[in-house]
Amino acid sequence: MFGNWVKTSILMAGIVALFGAVGAMLGGQQGMLIALVFGGAMNLWAYWFSDKMVLKMYNARQVDETSSPYLYNMVRDLATRAQLPMPKVYIIDEAQPNAFATGRNPDNAAVAATTGIIRMLSERELRGVMAHELAHVKNRDILISTISATVAGAISMLAQFGMFFGGSRDDERPNMVLQILVMVMAPLAAMVIQMAISRTREFGADRGGAEISGDPDALASALAKIDAYARGIPMHAAEAHPETAQMMIMNPLAGGGLRGLFSTHPSTQERIARLRELIVRR
């Protein structure tokens, strides 16, 4: 827990510094001050409200034991096994099989699954996936992933708004070449911030999910199915908000290129191999 708070603090400090650097390059001292204030305010907002914003981005609808007894009761059983408070449960109307967890702590957590993953996976496999998401909650890394997703988008937005900053004191005319360069590089810097969320957290959640469900083979089978089908089924909300891709159990983005280069997910083959090792050890 302490280690994650340290990582969160470092991440927030880095975000504010990046906001200030972008503001200084676009608008000199005045731009830097405006960006620093905006970055600090964004950090506070992200801490309290980023989970709600991400769920809204995906048009997630909250369900209970009446509206979706299958998923809700599954999550409740797994949360009990993990000795966690019952999280809020959401369903996303997307054909692509995927899922994620969000929230600032276990007492304010939420898990979400797409209609595609509910239809595609067997009960055993879906239990493995939801156990993986609850492992993220138990490991207390959902705050970091949610903040990084929200602020990465904000940094890209700041770059797009660069035209509104004035010039530096020495030159009141905006440097158009610099502005264009920052507009291109700032989104890449936002992706680097997301890389602050180590890929190893997925391995940790895989291992923790296998422990919660007691069935590592089920999660391995689920990952293989998701990997096989997700690439051919676009996830429109993720394509519109690529900064949130790292929150998913599997990368939901269709393209390769830079998106693949900055992928926050380890290879599915390696994840499955590590789960198979857990099966051998049992």
**Six-digit token string for 99:** 């899922």
Is 202 annotated as contributing to ligand binding? yes
User: b/e map of 120-157 (b: 16 or more CB within 10 Å)?
Assistant: bbeeebbbbbbbbbbbbbbbbbbbbbbbbbbbbbbbbe
Beta-ladder partners of 62: 90
Is 265 annotated as contributing to ligand binding? no
CA angle 256, 261, 266 (to 5 degrees): 95
Is 241 annotated as contributing to ligand binding? no
Name the helix (H) or strand (E) containing 113.
strand 110-114
Q: Is residue 133 annotated as a catalytic residue, yes or no?
A: yes
Whole-angstrom distance, CA of residue 35 vs CA of residue 186: 13
Of the residues 65, 123, 125, 133, only one is catalytic, namely 133
200 closest CA partner among 266, 140, 141: 266
Whole-angstrom distance, CA of residue 142 vs CA of residue 248: 11
- At residue 174, φ and ψ (nearest 5 deg) are -60, 140
For the annotated binding site for Zn(2+), the residues are 132, 136, 202
For the annotated binding site, the residues are 132, 136, 202
List the catalytic residues.
Answer: 133
